[in-house]
Amino acid sequence: MQAFWRAFTRNRLAVIGGVVVLCLAVLAVLAPVIAPSDPNRPDVRKILAPPSGQHPLGTDQLGRDVFSRMLYGARVSLAVGFVSVGIATAIGLMLGAAAGYHGGVVDAAIMRMVDLMLVFPRFFLLLAVLAFLKPSIWTIMAVIGLTGWMGVARLVRAEFLALKEREFVIWSQSIGASAYRIIWRHILPNAMGPVLVAMTLGIPAAILTESGLSFLGLGVQPPHATWGNILNEGKDSIELAWWLSVYPGTAILLTVLSYNLLGEGIRDALDPRLRQSRGRVR
């Protein structure tokens, strides 16, 4: 942990990304306290009002405060990112562990299922599924999670294929340890480093997916605020109310960039080969 922390803190971009991610999480959690007004309360006297002291990010077509809606939108976007990645990681861990440890027919069957899922473009698969389901935050979380586990499964399988040949696994098998114990107590903890990186990089991908679906009107439905549907509402008034497009777009950009920087920093800090190569360069 000390070596990881030293390597991570030397990466300034990763530290900046981590600070931004932490600040976004705090703002999302404290949105009911920080928001100056109800995000769904209209005010016909202040329709499309520009940024001001009373409304730091202006108002929308119904006179709702954009700053309040951005704060509540952060809660939705981060919740979708974390929950959907959690679902995808859980499925990928179970299937990847089974494929990598047992091999043979089990491995072939799971990998063919992965190949079949990867044949379909993910975004169009999401559109096809959502066409038959009622859009809601829970539906979006489940659909993104259930269509995003393939990368984690392949990553875990590769780690298991390498780790199951190690001496500590062979020793555990020789003393009669069950497959369940070997997988969950011995191999999986040693394979969690790459999985953690994949989770960190998967969150911004899920946020982008949710924002894209909301922008198309297939994501979380109004009056619930998300960055994607704020952008969708702003596209019709971009010439009159630039703030409806600039601020949510900037929020999505900063969030995705920060999570990617954080994930890259964690990956570099967890990989001793990268630390050694950087040390030789210095």
Instruction: Report pLDDT digits (tens) over 175-214.
Output: 887 877 888 888 888 888 888 888 888 888 888 888 888 8
C-beta separation of 200 from 255 below 8 A: no
CA atoms within 13 A on the CB side of 73: 30
Indicate if the pLDDT at residue 151 is higher than 80.
yes
Greatest mean pLDDT among 68-77, 113-122, 228-237 lies in 68-77
Indicate if the pLDDT at residue 280 is higher than 50.
no
Per-residue confidence band for 257, with pLDDT thresholds at 50, 70 and 90: very high
User: Among all chains, which residue has been given the structure tokens 């480093």?
Assistant: 193
Distance CA 264, CA 113 (A): 29
More confident: 281 or 185: 185
Distance CA 156, CA 191 (A): 7
End-to-end CA, the chain:
22
DSSP 77-102: HHHHHHHHHHHHHHHHHHHHHHHHHH
Indicate if the pLDDT at residue 277 is higher than 60.
no
Q: For residue 245, which amino acid is it?
A: S
Sequence-ordered list of residues with C-beta below 8 angstroms from that of 123, at least 6 positions apart, any chain? 209, 212
Indicate if the pLDDT at residue 91 is higher than 90.
yes
DSSP single-letter state for residue 235: G
Q: Which two tokens stand for residue 22?
A: 């932490």
Q: For residue 232, which amino acid is it?
A: N
What value does the mean pLDDT take over residues 69-74? Answer: 90
Consecutive H or E run containing 27: helix 12-29
Distance CA 76, CA 140 (A): 11
Indicate if the pLDDT at residue 33 is higher than 60.
yes
pLDDT of res. 140: 85
pLDDT of res. 224: 80
Sequence-ordered list of residues with C-beta below 8 angstroms from that of 29, at least 6 positions apart, any chain? 75
What value does the mean pLDDT take over residues 70-80? Answer: 89
Q: Which domains, ranges and CATH numbers included, belong to the chain?
A: 2-281 (1.10.3720.10)
Q: Work out the number of other CB atoms within 10 angstroms of the CB of residue 182.
A: 19
For all residues of the chain together, what is the average pLDDT? 85
Q: CA 150 → CA 15, 58, 105, 223, distances in Å? A: 29, 41, 18, 33
Q: CA 185 → CA 99, 135, 169, 189, distances in Å? A: 17, 39, 10, 7
C-beta separation of 97 from 155 below 8 A: no
Q: Work out the number of other CB atoms within 10 angstroms of the CB of residue 79.
A: 16
What value does the mean pLDDT take over residues 268-274? Answer: 68
Instruction: Report pLDDT digits (tens) over 59-69.
Output: 888 888 999 99
User: What is the percent of the chain where pLDDT is above 90?
Assistant: 21
Whole-number CA gyration radius for the chain? 22
